Chains A and B, each alone.
Chain A
Amino acid sequence: MIADRTAQISGSDVLLFCTLRNELVRLPYFLKYYRTLGIRHFLFVDNGSDDGSLEYLAKQPDVSVWRTDKSYKRARFGMDWMNWLLRKYAHGHWALTVDVDEFFIFPFCDTRSISALTDWLDASSIRSFAAMLLDMYPKGRIDAETYREGQNPFDIANWFDSGNYMISQNPKFKNLWIQGGPRARAFFADNPARAPALNKIPLVRWDRSFTYVSSTHNLLPRGLNLVYDEWGGEKASGCLLHAKFLNTFAQKSEEELQRRQHYANSHEYRAYNKRLRENPEFWCSWSEKYINWRQLEILGIMSKGNWA
């Protein structure tokens, strides 16, 4: 424990939970983005950063940060840490669990705060909210432009794949399993089963009896995973814009490959590394340029459901 400001948390605050390692360059914009969205308190686990991330976070007035040098992999890719913090601090709160390169958007997020959303979810007796991971990438080589501290990453990575997502149902946990997007297209065309999961349920009205199972892809109890309608209707859903594919990515994937701390023997990072050396470009003529949440709504990537 480095900085504990959890005493500031008050009854109806929406809380953000995040694990990170060496992400200093991303933090200023990340915090700014989520403060604007209406997050009242941030709870971080720093997994052995040596670039000053920890010190930076400890200085923030609305941040509590814990430090661990233990294995990310052994902690089930950080989820054990997150579940522990959630159980301890999120009970009775709406909790948003994201990575430092994930930016939550939801219907009307340009005009309504996150508490408008959570109030509405409360009124509708909804406990969990889906936000699929949407991989964003630049036009041209992903290392062409350097991301600077404080910059909106989507000034650089502002393209995405609009309609190549494959969905099936996970019979065990009842969650949807979504794969596809630029990573499946560029990295996993020969091995689709290995393509990373994009389904996420990052926003939950937490109860201490809840637990994330595998990343924020699914939870227990299983009812929390039923964020989709099976009778033709659309439930409200959002997106996590994924700012992973910036110039920082090549460096990061090299580092992660050496640390061997990632899921499925870091298979994903191996695939990236190989491909990145050849041609680090996702953009194609069918790529869609990001405008706003309404565009994603029209494209059918997220939905307003019955929120109007």
Chain B
Amino acid sequence: MSVGIVMLVHEPLTRAVEVARHWAEAGCPIVIHVDSQVRPKAHKWFVGALSEFDDIRFCARHRCEWGTWSLVAASQTASQMMLHEFPDVRHVYLASGSCLPLRPVEELRAYLAENPRTNFIESVTTKDVPWTIGGLDNERFTFSFPFSWKRQRFLFDRYVALQRLLGATRRLPDGLVPHLGSQWWCLTRQTLSAILDDPNRAMYERYFRKVWIPDESYYQSLVRLYSDKVESRSLTLSKFDFQGKPHIFYDDHLQLLRRSDCFVARKIWPHADRLYESFLNDPTTTKNRAEPSPGKIDRVFAKAVDKRTRGRAGLVMQSRFPNWDWENGRTAAPYSVFAGFSDLLDDFDQWLAHSTGARVHGHLFHPKRAEFSGGQHVFAGGLPDSAHLRDYNPQALLTNLIWNTRGERQCFQFGPLDNQAIAPFLAADPNVQISVISGAWAVPLFHSNRNFGEIRTVAAQLQKIETEFLEILRSPQTKARARIWSMAEFIEQPMEPLQTVIEEIGPRSGVRLTEAPRIVNLEGFGQFLQNLKNQGMHPHLMGDFPVTLDGEPEKPSGHRPYLVR
């Protein structure tokens, strides 16, 4: 009724010695396979360092290379020796030189004694796992892999491509269903000996020799033929990153490992002195023989992989610079852009800030300076209001602003007087809500005290610029949520657009939208537009404005704020 450890080791060997001693001192028989690439001097030292233990044996050596059959061969040789020389062993635990036992060996023994017939080996069919290292999943089993992935990558890739081209497939041995899983297992004597003594072993071997990474599939598939008691999980905590390399544990993982209640962890950084010292001298004892629960560690590593592959949306930084058309990444959070509102509505900024609780800026792309909220010269993250700096990289200003203010909705004004360089970026950003009252830029002109000839020229320019902006917004590629009202439409029913816009931002909780902003005095605006027409310009973005005073659009109840239900 005991557990025997099969250990596969390569250099550096110093930690392997410590761990082997630890197992041996706890009374576990050990068979060690030393990679034949280990230099004779190091090997001699290693064997010498463990010579005091009778129950440590060294098996015949293979030259081990990742992804190849050699690793299976090593474990077979060592396992056979284990079964043969230690007849008391009931479970065989496959471990490596960089595995570290976390709990007392006594607890592992007790755990296995409670599950005397159970094989602990992760074993799942290819359909159920997303492990596709090098773009290969089922092809691991249907192609053959005579070239080394590490040393002969070019040939490896070409040969895979060739097999794909030819539609090559290999015939699986009868009755075999390919399963995959962690290469670190703990099998019962019955199951392991059945695999190793099977009269068909040679046939299976012929097949698996040419499978890619057979140490993750040989035992995992065969165990299904011989045992009905498979607990499909590994007792060794071992996590892999997105490139299929094992995550490494360091000193700062100590608490995380302690709380995992796992029996063994890999891979440990060889210089993680504190981990080795802590767990080898003072393993985590669990009061009620807890089941391993690596959930928290799983989450930590899953988050790391996610950060590497998807990153933080909207972040542009030294090691994340997403391509222009890449989805997960323009800006960090939803925000709103208003065009024409502040021209047509008195104190629109304050009203918006009050009703939504959002941060409302002026014209961030104003030719003179970035008009940050409250007239600040520097804003969140140290963004300066200099127009030169902003225009040097307008996109950076916007992405930085949205990133720096995560958690607070940003709104800003935009219009044809502003630097338009940001427009294509805005239009392509699904995070932005753009609301436009087209033609409203004419209102400040209408109120200005400039010569009419000058006004006419400026009006023509602004209309051209805004028309281009609207064209961008209306293009089928636009991802922004854009709403466009002509000025005439807006004035006819101002509350509806305002309501829509505010609802989308989400009104400040607890505050009811009770006040509407006041529309500026438009008496004579119709005539103003007519005058522009008379001068040969065609102001079309405002919509239809009657010329006469009587026909002025109805102003909301004589400038008094009114209630919205």
Contact = CB atoms under 8 A, between A and B. Distances in A.
Interface residues of A, number: 60
A227 interface: yes
Interface string B250-284: 11100000000000000001010000000000000
Given A234-B317, A300-B312, A302-B317, 4 more contacts: A123-B245, A124-B241, A233-B320, A237-B319
Interface string B292-319: 0000000011011101111111011111
Contact of B400 (A165, A189, A230): A165
B316 A167 contact: yes
Contacts of B404: 162-163
B416 to A, nearest CB: 25
A234 B389 contact: no
Q: Chain A interface secondary structure, helix, strand, loop or mixed?
A: loop
Interface stretch (A60-68, A94-102, A179-187, A271-279): A179-187
B379 interface: yes
A153 to B, nearest CB: 20
Contacts of A193: 392
Contacts of A192: 386, 388-389, 392-393
Nearest to A227: B319
Nearest to B256: A308
Contact of A232 (B269, B328, B389): B328
Contact of B319 (A235, A287, A288): A235
9 contacts: A119-B248, A119-B269, A165-B400, A167-B317, A191-B388, A229-B321, A232-B310, A232-B311, A234-B319
A182 B381 CA distance: 10
A169 interface: yes
A124 B247 CA distance: 10
A285 interface: yes
B288 interface: no
B327 A232 contact: yes
Interface string A151-186: 000000000011111111100000010101110110
A113 to B, nearest CB: 7
B: contact size bracket: 35 or more
Interface in B314-372: 315-323, 326-329
Interface of A: 108, 111-113, 115-116, 119-120, 123-124, 130, 132, 161-169, 176, 178, 180-182, 184-185, 188-193, 199, 227-237, 284-288, 300-308
A166 to B, nearest CB: 4
Contact of A304 (B307, B388, B400): B307
A189 B301 CA distance: 42
Contacts of A112: 250-252
Nearest to B404: A163
A302 B320 CA distance: 9
A10 to B, nearest CB: 14
Contacts of A168: 393
Nearest to B254: A111
B381 A286 contact: yes
B318 A302 contact: yes
Contacts of A115: 271
